[in-house]
Chains A and B, each alone.
Chain A
Amino acid sequence: MMNNLQKYSDSSIKKFLFERFFKNKEGVIGFAIIAVLLLVLFPTIFSTFRLNMIGKYLCYAFVSLGLVMCWGRAGILSLGQGLFFGLGGYCMAMFLKLEASDPESTAIQTTPGIPDFMDWNQITELPAMWYPFKSLSLTILLILTLPAILAYIMSVFYFKGRVTGVVFAILTQSMVACAWYFIVGNQGLFGGINGITDLKTLKGWDIRSEEAQTTLYFVCCILLLITILLSRYIMSTRLGRVLVAQRDKEMRVRFSGYSITSFKIFVFCLAGVVSSIGGAMFTLQVGFMSPNLIGIKPSIDMVIFTAVGGRESLLGAVYGALAVNAAKTTFSEAYPNLWTFIYGATFIIIVLFLPKGLAGLYENFIKPQLYKIICKFSSKKTEDSDDSTNLKPTVTDAK
């Protein structure tokens, strides 16, 4: 910390920010690779349909990023990230649904101007909690604040009561189950088990057209890249270090005079907000939101993406979400029965032998090899980046 501050005073602020965002050259290369991959390579080699699917996977990468901070760095395992993902998703879906059900297009209903599923459930007036979702700016505000508020309420008492990792994980899982039952039980208010479907336009802009899907993919990528940078920034500050410290030796950090509770609450809320952004982007790209995307199983799946990518590596989380989802789509289409066996087994193997996931694999096996190559051709950097694109590199940052 002292080093950082000294550098800040005697060299330029640029250098300080560089340290915070990237740590070193390796960080820049890692970030550049992922940016090139997402913004240049994927759009050129894949069709719009595939690109839309990748965009969907990237939404899960947001959740994984949140989990890296919350679980990997701070040691708080949350099995309920689907709750926040769904919160963002539902906020966005409610806005889009209201826009899709304007009085003209819903003229055949008993009460025109309200979403169709409300009409089927004999609701004649728009419920009060739907009113904020008439404005886009308010919706975006809610997408960013609601998860933070909810996460605060969910965690503050438990962290103060020093509920430990495993029990907290169970509690978050029950919360997501609770949310699932809540949505399913309120058919008139949230569309029940069917979810909110038939979303068409965003401010008059058709989100189902190919052009819109490509645009949304880029928006999603850029948001993801920004989130990665911000997360890196947060994790490289003193706050991030305290989080890692309390994961490893909670009592020692407490005795050093830190109030761990507030740090934990902060990172839990942060993870919630990041997941919520992912959820909102998911709704925009997929065009519907349903409770089955946020139940117990999807929530654990999100933890699996993170574990596969490497629970301590922010970039690893993105690769994890991409790799697992791509494998899931490919294999579950071809061998639906075998897939679950492979999925379960992969998970056990990763936990048993690769607790640091793909990032750990890179750190331990690929990186030393890469350094050898770099030492041989010490001047050529381009080869290195080409090599590592194929090998799914992950550059772990500040530990």
Chain B
Amino acid sequence: MCIYALMGLGLYIIFGQMGVINMAHAEFLVLGSYTMCLFSQLVTEHMPFLTNYYVVLAIPLSFGIAFGVGYLVEWSLISRLYKRPLDTLLATWGLSLIMQQSFRTFIGARETSATLPEWLLGSWSATDTIDIPVSGLVLLGLTILLTLGLIFYTKKTRMGLRMQATTQNREMTGALGINTKMTDRFSFAIACGISGIAGAFFTTMASTSPSAGENYIVDSFLVLVVGGLGSLAGLFVSAGFLALLSSILEFFMTGSIAKVILYVIIFITLMKFTKGIFYSKVRS
């Protein structure tokens, strides 16, 4: 569930709030994963004394890198396309191709994974029969923390309020003297940063390869669409719903057929709730 929710969080801002579709979203996740992997390699080679704590440092780092790249992308590409949402989709697909190829060329085509510190590998036995892996617990904690942070950011900070205002009425917000362009740029970059953190944590579960993003992209959009654009509660309900369904289905049949049935269930659900389960109005 946390995986689905984490995938969706960044998109929640970009797609749900700003109405921009970012096909390169999955590549930002991968960017975060790579930051984590490379940082762990660096630490194990040059600073072995940090091995146990580097994860704490890697997370802000992956946020920072994804934030920076996101800022650049918004400035150079997205800001020109706000009025043409379908074209954004195509342009960001081009971007995702370029990013994938950069990973392949500059980092290497082989799958990499981070060396995890020992305290993440163990498991916590709640009772005699239940074992919960620590990495899963950390992931859960991180998801909750990120979500709370996001809620705090959107509801309480000045930048978050500006973002909401811009979402609701761009002209009026501009007229009130708020720099909507900067707001967009900052929101986009923050969303990319969050994806970076999410990606960093995916390394605890799977290895990273240049084309890893393909596995995330469809799922992360569907989570958001099922939940209803622009609704954080919807995002969580649908993440839970999809995670539960997929683990039940995968128990009974092979992975790919489970996926097919999961998708078909989603399509049928959306035929009934065409605006998502939790619908709230977004910028059109």
Contact = CB atoms under 8 A, between A and B. Distances in A.
B144 interface: no
A378 B87 CA distance: 40
Interface in B80-124: 80-81, 84-87, 89-91, 93-98, 100-102, 104-105
Contacts of A160: 274
B93 A300 contact: yes
Contact of A348 (B77, B256, B275): B77
A344 B90 contact: no
Contact of B267 (A167, A171, A296, A355): A171
Report, as a range, how many residues of chain A touch the other chain: 35 or more
A272 to B, nearest CB: 16
Contacts of A343: 94, 97
Contact of B256 (A75, A171, A185): A185
A344 B97 contact: yes
A352 interface: yes
Nearest to A163: B274
Contacts, number: 119
A352 B81 contact: yes
Contacts of B275: 161
- Candidate in B86, B91, B96 with the most chain A CB atoms within 10 angstroms: B86
B274 A158 contact: yes
Report, as a range, how many residues of chain B touch the other chain: 35 or more
A171 B218 contact: no
B86 A181 contact: no
Interface string B222-262: 10010001000000000000000000000000111101100
B178 interface: no
B271 A170 contact: no
Interface in B46-101: 77, 80-81, 84-87, 89-91, 93-98, 100-101
Interface stretch (A131-139, A172-180, A234-242, A273-281): A172-180
A254 interface: no
Contacts of A162: 274
B275 to A, nearest CB: 7
Nearest to B23: A300
B218 A352 contact: no
Interface string A9-41: 000000000000000000000000000000000
B83 to A, nearest CB: 11
A340 B211 CA distance: 13
B86 A352 contact: no
A181 B87 CA distance: 28
Given A171-B225, A181-B259, A351 B81 contact: yes
A157 interface: yes
A169 B89 contact: yes
Interface of B: 19, 21, 77, 80-81, 84-87, 89-91, 93-98, 100-102, 104-105, 214, 217-218, 221-222, 225, 229, 254-257, 259-260, 263-264, 266-267, 270-271, 274-275, 284
27 contacts: A77-B89, A158-B274, A161-B275, A164-B284, A167-B225, A170-B21, A170-B221, A170-B225, A171-B225, A171-B270, A175-B263, A175-B267, A182-B256, A182-B260, A185-B256, A185-B257, A185-B259, A185-B260, A337-B101, A341-B98, A344-B97, A344-B101, A346-B94, A347-B90, A348-B98, A351-B81, A352-B81
Counting from the closest, the 3 A-B pairs by CB-CB distance are: A161-B274, A347-B94, A185-B256
